[in-house]
A = this chain, B = another copy of it.
Amino acid sequence: MDSAEIHQIVILGSGNVATRLSIALQLAGLEIMQIFGRNVRDAKILAERLGVKHTDDLKAVIPSADLYLLCLSDDALTDVIGSFPFKNKLLVHTSGTISMDVFQNIQNNYGIFYPLQTLSKNKEIKFEGIPICIEANSKTNEAKLVRLAEKISNNIHLINSDQRKILHVAAVFASNFTNYFYSVSKEILESNQLSFDLLKPLIIETVEKALSQNPDETQTGPARRGDKKIISAHLEYLNSQSEFKEMYELISKHITHKYSKQ
């Protein structure tokens, strides 16, 4: 067996990231040896889905894997790293926010394997184009993780812990906040007996334009044009939904400011 290659993997976690990553890795020919999960029911469900063993006892984790992949919430992560029974195995987490320092003085071989994507247990996804951000404590471990990532994606990046945090902040704006605005628009429509479906072609076209061109240039709307009359009319309409009004006002202010400088 090539010692520089990862073949056998134990997955620690049973949530969205654990599910999608373990399925993708298994499909790519890696051997998932075991699922560890503190919630034994969820661990069992994922293990059965993969046809492998599971445990909720950290001491019962199989010691012979090439990689221990921690797909845990940030809080659980620190606990599990602190109680992990082996010191020399390759231990890697998948979090966007936790610095690699979390392993320091506890483990000898460690790193990050962060897929920059929103993942759901029950929504299939192709990993091919998903950016996988790699960091490791040594060049040897980095090379191992890059080779592993290449088995599921063609979009691999060496990203350090500081850059990873910046990526995560940017992702909150580009994904979480935009998704929230879809739900705001849905609520505005439905509280007036209009269907959210009406906006779907607009939403798709907006994204296609922003990504194929440049969102700075594809910006449209009353704030972009500095159309104070329409902004006032919209704010007046939103009087009864003060949370939405507050956001409309702030974001219009910033868009107006940005484009008035040009």
Residues on A lying within 8 angstroms of B by beta carbon are 74, 97, 116-118, 120, 123, 125, 129-131, 155, 157, 159, 163, 165-186, 188-189, 192, 194, 198-207, 209-211, 214-216, 218-224, 227, 229-230, 233-234, 237-238, 243-244, 246-248, 250-251, 254-255, 257
When distances are taken between beta carbons in the complex, the residues of chain B under 8 Å from A202 are: 116-118, 171, 174-175
Interface pair A181/B186, CB less than 8 Å apart: no
A189 CA / B170 CA spacing, docked (Å)? 7
**Given contacts A118-B209, A178-B203, A180-B255, could you give 12 more A-B pairs where the C-beta distance is less than 8 Å?**
A117-B205, A120-B218, A166-B237, A168-B230, A173-B244, A174-B181, A176-B222, A179-B218, A182-B210, A186-B214, A203-B210, A246-B250
| Residues A209 and B247 in contact in the complex (CB < 8 Å), given A202-B171, A237-B166 | no
For A241, give the chain B residue with the smallest CB separation.
B169
A213 vs B167: C-alpha distance in the bound complex, in angstroms?
A: 26
Q: Bound complex: CA of A246 vs CA of B192, how far in Å?
A: 30
* Complex CA distance for A216 and B182, rounded to whole angstroms: 8
Complex contact B243–A215 (CB within 8 A): no
Q: How far is the CB of A231 from chain B (nearest CB, A)?
A: 9
User: Copy number of this protein in the oligomer?
Assistant: 2
A224 to B176, Cβ gap below 8 A?
Answer: yes
**Main SS at interface, chain A:** helix
A188 and B169: CB pair below 8 A? yes
B251→A247 contact, CB < 8 A: yes
Contacts of A215 in B (CB 8 A): 179-180, 182-183, 186
What is the CB-to-nearest-CB distance from A94 to chain B, in angstroms, rounded to a whole number? 15
* Pair A74/B227 contact, Cβ less than 8 Å: yes
Q: A166-B237, A227-B74, A247-B254 are in contact. Are A200 and B211 (CB under 8 A)?
A: yes
Residue numbers in B under 8 Å from A238 (CB-CB): 169
Task: Known A173-B181, A185-B174; judge A163-B194 contact (CB<8 A).
Answer: yes
